[in-house]
Structure 1
Amino acid sequence: MTFLLNDQFSLTDIYLVFHVVILLQDLIESDLPKAVQLLNSLTEQVASVTGHIRELLKKVKDGAFKTSKGLSFLDLRYHLLLFYLQDLTHLISVKTEGGPIKDDEALNRLVTVRTVLEKMRPLDHKLKYQIDKLVRTAVTGSLAENDPLQLRPNPGNLLSKLNESESDDDTEAATEKKTSHSTSRKYVPPKIAPVHYDGDVTEADRKKAQAERQRRAALRSSVIQELRQQYSDAPEEIRDRRDFQSERESRDELHRRNYEESMMVRLNVTKSQKNSRKRGMMGMSGQLSGITHFGDITALTGGDGEQVTKHGIMGNGG
């Protein structure tokens, strides 16, 4: 291969250009099979979605689906997704042809639609539980026996089922007996009650979060802190913790006591001062009660840890 050199191009420039061309060829050869595979998969998916949409449109036009009482929120969401896909397809076609997309209006529309969809996500999360229940009801045609929607209040249960007057007719007597028998039965509360929807959090995620909280609590325990100070090579650090609120209360109490002793009088104690003294005593008692309790560090060794309750610390049994 012969190169013609002139004043504009040197041998180094030509070598760099040749090296870049080789790298581009290697990159194209490595990415070309993947790109062809993705395009084939995309073509198949587009054909499948197109056929499905045509069937749905035909059913809607024939009146098989009633869309007059649908949710406007879902209608808006699907329209936004359709606009987003249209603009995205347009930008892909422009980039495929090598055109610029910097000043394209579709780019601004994509950002706007994406922002609106992100703002709608919390509302979509709240409506997901109700929408899923309605979809299941529409598919099955009826509610399950233990479905929480069956547990809604029935005002008819507040009416008396007893007859006001007795009848000599045997049929009415049998009916009255059956009615009184049905009302005299013991009330059995439902086994399944409506609960708050916790979202997409699974039991494994809750256990993982609880184990992480127990591990952090164990790392903050006095036992770990003492061991860290004992076996650490760092010099011992002495901290002088000052509570400005406590110091001010101590100064006020000292000034009050000196005034009472010098003037031979007893000053009235306000409610806020009583509460402040009570908080101080509770803090001291809490520190004294924690002297003999070294905390639970079983979470660091793979144990279940202790459960903190309202009245104290409860072990994990055993």
Structure 2
Amino acid sequence: YHIMATISQAFQLMDEMNNNVKQVSDLVECLQQKVKSGEISTEHGLDFLEIKYQMLVDYLINLTFVALCKCSGSTIENDPSIDRLIEIRTVLEKTKPVDFKLRYQIDKLVKAAVTGDSQSHDPLSYKARPENLTSNGRVSSDSEIESDTEKRNKIQPNASYVPPKIAAVPYHLEKEEKTKTAIQRARSRMITSSMLEDLKEEYLDNPVEMSAGSKAQQMFSRAQKERENYEEAYLTRLPMTKVDKHRQRQLTTLGTLGDELTDFVNINKLRSGSEKKAKAGMKRRKSQSKKHSKKRKRVTL
């Protein structure tokens, strides 16, 4: 029963092969007639495709010969067609990356040959063209661009290069922007200050860690512990940087109290118009002191 099933399948395959062979032969004959009549030109083609098609034809010829040997019952051991099939199959597998790279170009040429379109909307047509870039550093009108191109066409190729004239323009920051940046810096300093952190711990519902000293001292002691652990683990002595020395100095004397109790400049910056009033008051005091000094000089004279 198994042999009969395989025989029926073999006959079905043979019928399909005969139909496919007829279709292929008709198509090849039609192409041959078009080539002979001049409807299809094969002069300026891709060499890669020509070699690939020749190898495919050679592969099919050897494959049909092997199938004929199997059907006739002859042996195919040590047959040169087997080695040729292996060689062609290896070459076709190795040329797949090249075929993938040329696929876009091949599809583009085939579409242009079939539809007759020049591919005006091709993405590769939008590539960068450095020759269209202007050498001057300013935006010019259309008439100026045309005149510049005419002048460049008249210039000889051996002429010396003239660099473009670019003048440096200073950036004048407005007073309002300066005040805004100063206020933002002052707010950031006040938010990250140790005094505000202490107020948060006192009035918020967050859990509080019992410790002696301010936040700055806690952070410094934590950094010192990490430093000591690293030195003990790797048996090395880390050098003291300028930043570490500056922090250590700030934690002594007035630094332990915090800058908030000794410096009120940041608070004045947060108030609108307070800085201007303070400057105006300082100017008035200076002018009054100068007037008093002049009067004293006159009285003494």
Q: TM-score, normalized by length of structure 2?
A: 0.44
Q: Which has the higher Rg, Structure 1 or Structure 2?
A: 2
Relative to the length of structure 1, the TM-score reads: 0.42
